Structures are given as C-alpha cells and as structure tokens.
Structure 1
Amino acid sequence: MSTTRVIKANGIDLSIREAGQGPLVVLCHGWPELSYSWRHQIPALAAAGYHVVAPDMRGFGQSAAPADLTAYSIFDLVGDVVGLVQALGETKAMVVGHDWGAPVAWHAALFRPDIFTAVAGLSVPPPFRGRGKPLDLLRQGGITNFYWQYFQTPGVAEAEFEHDVARTMRIVLAGRGLADPDAAMFVQEGKGFLGHASGEEPLPAWLSENDLAHFTEAFRKSGFRGGLNWYRNIDRNWELTAPWQDAQIHQPSLFIAGARDAVITGLIGSKRVNELERVLPNLTRRLIIDGAGHWVQQERPEEVNAALVKFLKESMPG
C-alpha cells in the first residue's frame, strides 16, 4: 500500500504517494493526470526493493499551483524533482516520466547527471532541440490548429475543460485519439479540443468508473490552469535550453510507448523514436507495446512494470 503526504520541495508544497524502502525512484506523471496514474507501478517497484515516490506534479492535484504562468518552465519542473530528492534526504535517484513527465525526466537526467543515475521515458521521446521555437515552426509549416496552439491563450482551454470535468476526463482518457490518432492532435475550428467526441464513450478495460471518478474529483478541485501552463512555456523552454543544444544523456536509459500512441505515430514523434540513440547513447531498450495507446503504464501495467524492474535491477541495483 502507498501512503500520501505533503512535502516541501523547491519552495512549494508537493503532494506525494510513496511506498517501499531502498534506492529512490521518482515517477513523474503527465497531462492531464496525477500521481494516481502510477497506481500499478508503485506497489510493483516497492516490492522489487525500491523507495518509490510519485508526486502530483506542480500545478496538479493537491500540489501547489503557482499563479505566475512563467513558474512552469522546464527549470521549475526539474527543480521540483531535484528538490524532492533532497527533501527525502537522498543524493541519488532514478527518474521515470510519462507524457509531459517524460521531458521532465529526460531534462532532469540532462541537467543533473550527478543526481539522476538512470532515466526512463514513457510515450514522449527525449529532447531534440530543433532549429527554432516549436510554436514558430508549426506556424511556418502552415499548421494553426495543433493542440499546443489551442492551449496557449489563458482561459480558453480552461473554460472548455472545466465546463463539465467528468465529460472532459472521460473523453481525454477513454476516447480521445483511439479511433483516429490525428483527432488527438488537431483541433477543428469552433469545436474545441473535445469537439470530435460525444462524451458517451465506454470506458476501456484498464480504466474503471472509480478511476475516472478519482481523476474527475481532483480536477474539479484544482482546475486545469496549472497543467495547461506547462504548454504555455514550450517556446520559452526552447530558449532556456540553448546551452544544451545537441547534448546527450549518457546515463542508462529506457524508452517505452504504445504502438497506437499518436505521440509516436504523428507529427512530432515517429522520426524521433527511430533516432533515440542520437540523444541516448546508452539506451538499453526501446519497448513499443503492440495494441497499447498513450496511457501505457495504466493500459499495460504488467509489461511496463516488468520492463521498469528489469531496467532498475540492471542500472540501479537494490
């Protein structure tokens, strides 16, 4: 069983789930998720001999959500993870991230190799710092309706998502992108991010009504502003990471994704998945799970857990 508590890290309050004893493993969730997204991994990794800690990331759940939009840069997010390791009295950790948590994990390993001795990313490949700001490149490519762009103006996506939080979470977790991956990435004029779906989608086997209710209740309380502010720092993150142009992550690394995940089949990811070693020269495994979508650690926990435990044992023995 995991326990929850609030811990002060990097100057803010982070709500964490934790279990087990041994070397520290930090699990970073994505959008729009919570530490609860790791409910299948926490007991498995604890049983394998690790101290597993999964925070509600900055802006999510019961953790602090600073009002300042600029407080959600990649430096702030990595700073939270560094601060968490220190607050737990440790000097070393292995970091795992899914979705937006994956860039946090990759950059944590890139910025602080002295702390993070191994890194695993789920669904989102490591940073390939391109030739220009990501949002500028989209516009130059004639793209104006990518979801990153829709999320930029404060208040627009918040109003859509908060109108009916239960419907929002059902569509995003259960329905969005499964039938048509492109629908998950592009926003139709006048329809918003959720407009392609009915909100009546049946839940997949991996997501129970109780699970959905947990996410819904948390986002009813927190709103969506904090998580959306991560997207509003995308171009700023490109500017901030200029010193790491073409840098590599030399620690042992692992990449896991679902074969049906629009992130790795669509606009951003397919080329990057094939070129992981450019950034990850010590990549131990590239695991693409047939039939799985974006929420891979919830959809296929046994395969993800087995891969993580094997990776931990090899790169960070208990």
Structure 2
Amino acid sequence: MIEPRLIDTGTARLRVMVEGAGPLVLMIHGYPEGWYSWRHQFAPLVAAGYTAAALDVRGYGGSDRPDAIEFYDMAAMVADVIGVADALQPDAPVILVGHDWGAPIVWYSALTHPARVAAVAGLSVPFTGVPTRPLGDIFRRAFTDRGRFFYQEWFRAPGPAEEEAERDVRGYLRRLYYAISGDAPPGSWPEKPAGATLLDGLVDPDPFPAWLTDGDLDHMVAELERSGFRGPLNRYRNHERDYAWAQAWQGQRIGQPALFIAGTRDPAAFGFGAYSDPLTVMRPHVPLVEGHMLDGCGHWTQEERPAEINRLLLDWLARPPLRL
C-alpha cells in the first residue's frame, strides 16, 4: 500500500507517498501535476526491491503552499528534495528521478549535493549546464522580442495565468495535456503572437487519449482545485534568482550515473527548437549519461509510455554501480 507521509524539511512540510523497502528512489513531478504522475512506477520499483517515493512539490497537493514567489526558487526546491532524502534514507545516498520541472530540480540536486545523490534520472528536460545568462533572457530573445508567444513569458506575471487555469481546471488540463502529447497531430502546440494566452489555439480532444482516464483527471482536478495554481506558476517566476544561485557551480559537471529519457515529439526535450539533439548538448555536462528517445512519445513520458519507462529505469538501476 502506498502510504502518505508529511515530512518537515525545515523550510516546508511536504506530502510524500512512500511504498516498499530497500534503496530509495525519490520521484519529483513537474507542471501541472503532483505525486500522482508517478502512479505507474510504484509497483515495478517496489517489486524490484526499492523504496518508491514521490512527493508533492511545494505549492501542490498536500504540501505547503506559501504565497511569495521567492519561496519557489531552485535553491528552495533542491533543499526540499534533500530534506526528504535525509528523512527517508539518512544513512545512504539516494536515487532521484524527475520529470518536466522535476528534471532540473533533480539535476541541480545531484550537482549541488553529490554526496547525497547516488544517481539521477531526468525525463523530458535535459541538463545543459549551469547557464551563462538567465533563462528569461534566453526565451525573450528567441520568442517575445520577435513577437512570438512563449508559455513561460505568459506565466511570469502573477494573476492572468492563474485565472486562466483556475477558470476550468479540467478543461485546462485536457487541452494542455493533449497539445504536447504524442497523440496530438502536428500543429497542436501552435505558433501564435506574443499577446496570446496559453489556451489560445489549444483544442479539447474527443475522445481523450486512453493513457489519461477520466478517473485520473478526477484526481488531478481535485488536487489542483484544492491547491490552486499560484504555487505551481511561481516556479516560472524565479529565472533570475535561479541563475544567480546556480553561478556558484559554473563549469562543474554532474558526475553521478545518469539517465535521460524523452519523447521525439516533446518540444521541451529540444529546448523548444534551441537544439536538435538533447543528448549531444547534455553529454559535456553529464558525462555518464545514458540516453533514450522514445519514438512518437510526447511530453508526458511516464504516463504516455509507462511500460517503456519502467523497463528502461529498472534496467538502468540494475547495472553496476547501481545494482542492488
């Protein structure tokens, strides 16, 4: 049985779902999800002899939801992950797995706390090194300054993005999930002008892809209606703060064994057009990375392709020096 625990990291109380016994595999979700996005990974990990754990990132679900933007910077996110690791497995380093925003969180956890992280896996978002300028500057130059919409610019101003998401949470999730899934036809994540909103041009499919059921949506909608979108969106409002914090590790590499998995139809895996091969960009910064690109898979890797993700993850975990 998956057991909910409330863990106080010293700066936040986080809901963590835990099952099994053995080495800890701690899973970190992205936007706009929760621990539930890892529901397909618990049973295989437990059967293989691991403790499987997935937390609600601060701002989500049953975790603390402070209002101030600065409480959602990368330093706070990494501190939360290490705090949970210390609570669940204090005497040995842990294995981290992250998807979407959870991927940068686990990459930076591994980079900044090498003694606490034995190995690290990221889905969807590669680690391309400590940046030389803030992410906001990069995407504004590539998109906003050219009159093109970019979702993270839409997210940066508090208020409008929350209002759009909270007006109809189910409709918001259906349209966003579909637009960057492997089931959507080309053009479902449309080019649009800088003044657009996230949902402009996104369709609500009928029927919805079978990998996300009505019951799954019921759970996700209930969690997000309870927690709201302020905390989740605040993560996008810390690019300058994240950049300044990360400079202390400029030029350093992630030295642990690493795994990267992404879909060939996931725009996030390619930096929304910034590069054509995420693994080539990643290897100078993560020399021990093993990479897999899932043909036709979209952004929601562990939900769209759970069997493939579980097989690749367990195979990677079983190899030296990670083998139990």
Classify the TM-score, shorter chain: over 0.9
Supply the distance in 2 between the matched residues of 1:182 and 1:272 (Cα, whole angstroms).
22
> How far does residue 174 in structure 1 lie from its aligned partner after superposition?
2.6
The residue that corresponds to 1:79 in the other structure is 79
1:240-283 C-alpha deviation (Å, 9 max, x unpaired)? 11121221101000100011111124324535432221111111
Q: State whether residues 124 and 269 of structure 1, in contact with CA within 8 Å, keep that contact through their aligned partners in structure 2.
A: no
In the superposition, relative to structure 1, how do residues 269 and 151 fare at CA in structure 2: closer, same or farther (>3 Å)? farther
By how many angstroms is 1:159 displaced? 0.5
CA 1:112/1:143 → structure 2, altered by over 3 Å: closer, same or farther?
A: farther
Report Cα offsets for 1:103-154 as digits up to 9, x if no partner. Answer: 0010010000100010000000014233322212333343452111111000
- Seen in structure 2, the aligned counterparts of structure 1 residues 211 and 268 have a Cα distance that, compared at 3 Å, is farther
Aligned residue type for 1:288: M
1:2-41 aligned within 5 A: 2-41=2-41
Q: Which amino acid aligns with 2:242?
A: N
- Judged with a 3 Å threshold, the aligned counterparts in structure 2 of structure 1 residues 243 and 189 are, in CA distance, closer, same or farther, namely closer
Cα distance in 2 between the residues matched to 1:181 and 1:58: 33
Aligned length: 316
Task: Let me know the Cα RMSD of the aligned residues.
Answer: 1.8
Q: CA deviation at 1:82?
A: 0.5
Partner of 2:230: 225
- SS of corresponding position for 1:15: strand
Identify the residue that residue 55 of structure 2 maps to in structure 1.
Answer: 55
Q: Is residue 125–residue 269 contact of structure 1 (8 Å, CA) maintained in 2?
A: no
Shift in CA distance, 190/204, structure 1 to aligned 2, threshold 3 Å? same
TM superposition shift of 1:62: 1.1
SS in 2 for 1:4: strand
SS of residue in 2 equivalent to 1:44: helix
| TM-score (structure 2 length as normaliser) | 0.92
Q: What pairs up with 1:60-139 in 2 under 5 angstroms?
A: 60-91=60-91, 92-139=93-140
Say whether 1:261 aligns with 2:266: yes
Q: Spell out, residue by residue over 1:2-25, the C-alpha distance to the aligned partner (whole angstroms, 9 max, x if none).
A: 222222123211111111100111
Question: Could you say if the C-alpha distance between residues 173 and 10 of structure 1 is closer, same or farther in structure 2, counting changes exceeding 3 Å?
Answer: farther
Residues 276, 148 of structure 1: CA spacing in aligned structure 2 closer, same or farther, 3 A cutoff?
same
Residue 246 in structure 1 maps to residue 247 in structure 2? no
In 2 relative to 1, CA 147–233 (structure 1 residues): closer, same or farther, beyond 3 Å? same
Name the CA distance, whole Å, in 1 between partners of 2:187 and 2:244.
29
Kindly, what percent of the aligned residue pairs are identical? 38
What residue is the counterpart of 2:315 in the other structure?
A: 310
Gaps of 5+ in 1: none
The one of 293, 297, 306 equivalent to 1:301 is 306
Superposed, which structure 2 residues align to 1:262-301 within 5 Å?
Answer: 262-265=267-270, 266-268=272-274, 270-283=276-289, 285-301=290-306
State the secondary structure of the residue aligned to 1:196: coil
Give secondary structure in 2 for the equivalent of 1:183: coil
Kept in 2, the 8 Å contact 1:22–1:50? The answer is yes
Q: What code does the residue aligned with 2:202 have?
A: A
C-alpha deviation, 1:190, in angstroms: 5.1
- CA displacement at 1:165 relative to structure 2: 0.8
The answer on 1:215 being equivalent to 2:215 is no
Of residues 222, 234, 237 in structure 1, which corresponds to 2:239? 234
2:155 pairs with one of 141, 151, 167: 151
- Counterparts of 2:245 and 2:14, CA distance in 1: 24
